[in-house]
Amino acid sequence: MIYKLVSLVIQFFEMAIIINAVLSWFPVDGLYSIKSSLDKIVSPILNPIQKQLYRYVNLGGIDISPIIALVLLSVLRKIVFYVLW
């Protein structure tokens, strides 16, 4: 039961990160409120990754922090599965 709840929360964050990344490609004014809400949700996850990433790696302005966050969330889900299942 707890695993399903944790997995659902992780899945919510994964979807929020994906939607936020896709919306960043389209500068449409009508989506500003959705984009700002998603930024508030995913920024606690992405900001620490971005700080560490930009400290050690120069990718020429390409932000791969959503990909790293998705991989870390997937690893977290597997760890939680092994611990709680």
Question: What confidence tens digit (pLDDT) does each residue in 41-67 have?
Answer: 999 999 999 999 988 888 888 999 999
Q: Is the pLDDT of residue 84 over 90?
A: no
Distance CA 58, CA 20 (A): 22
Domain locations along the chain: 2-84
Record the pTM.
0.89
Distance CA 85, CA 70 (A): 22
DSSP-derived secondary structure for 14-39: HHHHHHHHHHTT---GGGHHHHHHHH
Distance CA 52, CA 37 (A): 24
Q: Confirm if 7 and 35 have CB atoms less than 8 A apart.
A: no
Q: Is the pLDDT of residue 32 over 80?
A: yes
